[in-house]
Structure 1
Amino acid sequence: MAEDLHHPSKQLCVVKETKPILLKPTVNQSTHNKIKLFQERFKQEAENLVEISREHDQISNLYTCFEKEGQLYWVREWVEGQTLTQWEHPVEPGMIVEILRQTLLVLDSLHNRGILHLNLKPSNIIWRKQDSKVVLTDFGILKEITGHFPLDLQVDPGPRVIPFSYRSPEQSKGGRTGPFSDYYSLGLTMITLMMGNAFEQFKRDFAYHGEMRWRQYIPEVNPVLADILDQAIHYDPRHRFRVARDMLVVLQEVPIEPSTT
């Protein structure tokens, strides 16, 4: 959290520091060229995000990005509200449908511009306090760009990652990504939100078996909604939804259950 001292209103913002780029001990001209390509690609993608975040009300504004002493920094809007991680779980099906609907409309706008989120998970979806709207934040551009570079240009891996991940299988393997990758992460996010206390057991079972068997943890889930989510998280991207609009159409068939709160 930071305060912009150059802004008349001293507006609050979020500064995010990315993991540093590490080089092998032997730094040659080829390596320097790769660094330059990385920086140019990063800048280009960041500029695209700055532009679309200004145009779309449900994407947290990216004010700028900059490099200092080998570190890359994002400066984005602070959104007053709660991330879905902070919500009381399990989340009721009616709210799941509403979150899905709003998020898919945002993704539709992004994908039509050729922009992928690639980092959808509960902590990166904010329920804005002032108008009860979904706001997407923290795009996964840096990880995606770095994954396409050879091994002598790397991002610090940091701590060991737990087996469970919201990233699609093709992302985890460094394969080709597309809108289908975002649908996978979104579908898995909705599933885990409905699990409540069963989520920890689900993660343990997933780590042991490596299979996305989730319906047994939410036996009361509406079968229409369950089928939609199963298609969204299909291991094979070819069997997932083609575009966000396709998922929105079938989502209309899910009966809205009365709220229990």
Structure 2
Amino acid sequence: MSDLFIGITLSSQYLIQSQLSKGVFGETYLARDLQRPMQPYCIVKRLTIHSQNPQEVSIARHFFNQEAAILERIGIHDRIPKLLAYFEQNDEFYLVQEYIEGMDLESEGERLDERRTIDLIREVLEILEFVHKSGVIHRNIKPSNLIRRKMDGKLMLIDFGAVKQIYAQSTVGTTHKHSTASIGTPGYMPSEQAAGNPRFCSDIYAVGVLGIQALTRVTVPESIPK
């Protein structure tokens, strides 16, 4: 199915080039924007709601529009990819974001000294300060979600939990009062986030893990020792 998606043009504008990742919540693709000069690359995130229940689809649509508005608002920051478009097509939801050329910290795999680790933490916290002041919790701080921008070496924070949040909220079901979906990556999540109750400090915890990993290059355990 994914291979068949390559070469498809979405919304008469976004030509799918390749698949970048695939998960329970949807897929992420590299695409070209055919309606802009030079047809630049962009990132397309596809969310499929596996439900025929009109109520669940309606809930998904509500949260999709809500999360898209949040991404559009925080995308004004220079270190967060801009939201270029969002739309619904064939009962599927799509987010289109700015493509960032560069390498993520996981791919760099470099062990840092104390000074460079402090610089790294400070840079991430400066981005998070804006995110948190905007009332948003990232929920997935980890090396692969921090890209060092090729043109200037600055860090970019990507992959906010929007798509997972839309999916989680829309599939809770009418018999449940609260969603306990755990959104994030094991090892980088504190206990409250793993229990489905993320807070602003949950992101700070992840930055701390990031710093320890940068200093030591140890493998992050998937669960918190008790």
Aligned-pair identity (%) = 30
SS in 1 for 2:94: strand
Partner residue in 2 for 1:188? 209
2:188 matched to 1:169? no
Compared CA separation, residues 75 and 81, structure 1 to 2 (3 A): same
How far off is 1:106 after superposition? 1.2
Choose the corresponding residue for 2:91, options 70, 73, 94: 70
The aligned runs of 1:111-190 (5 Å cut-off) are 111-148=132-169, 151-152=172-173, 164-175=186-197, 177-190=198-211
Q: CA deviation at 1:167?
A: 2.8
Whether the aligned pair in 2 keeps the contact of 1:147 and 1:174 (CA below 8 Å) is: no
Q: Which segments of 5 or more consecutive residues in structure 2 lack a partner in the other structure?
A: 1-29, 175-184
Number of the residue aligned with 1:100: 121
Q: Secondary structure at the match of 1:82?
A: strand
Amino acid in the other structure paired with 1:97? I
* Aligned residue pair count: 187
In structure 2, the partner of 1:22 is 50
Two-structure CA RMSD over aligned residues (Å) = 2.4
Distance in 1 between the 2:124 and 2:145 partners?
A: 11
Partner residue of 1:32?
A: 54
Which has the bigger relative contact order, CA under 8 A and spacing at least 6? 1
Identify the residue that residue 250 of structure 1 maps to in structure 2.
Answer: none
Shift of 1:183: 1.0
**Of residues 53, 65, 68 in structure 2, which corresponds to 1:46?**
68
Partner Cα separation in structure 2 for residue 166 and residue 116 of structure 1: 14
Q: Distance in 2 between matches of 1:142 and 1:169?
A: 22
Change in 2 beyond 3 A, CA 1:62/1:150 = closer
Normalised TM-score (structure 1) = 0.64
Q: Is the CA contact 1:89–1:195 (under 8 Å) kept in the aligned structure 2?
A: no
Alignment of 1:211 with 2:225, yes or no, is: yes
User: Structure 1 stretches of 5 or more lacking a match?
Assistant: 154-162, 213-261
Kept in 1, the 8 Å contact 2:59–2:170? The answer is: no
Larger Rg over CA atoms: 1
Which of 90, 99, 108 in structure 2 is aligned with 1:87?
Answer: 108
Structure with higher strand content: 2
Higher helix share: 1
SS in 1 for 2:43: strand
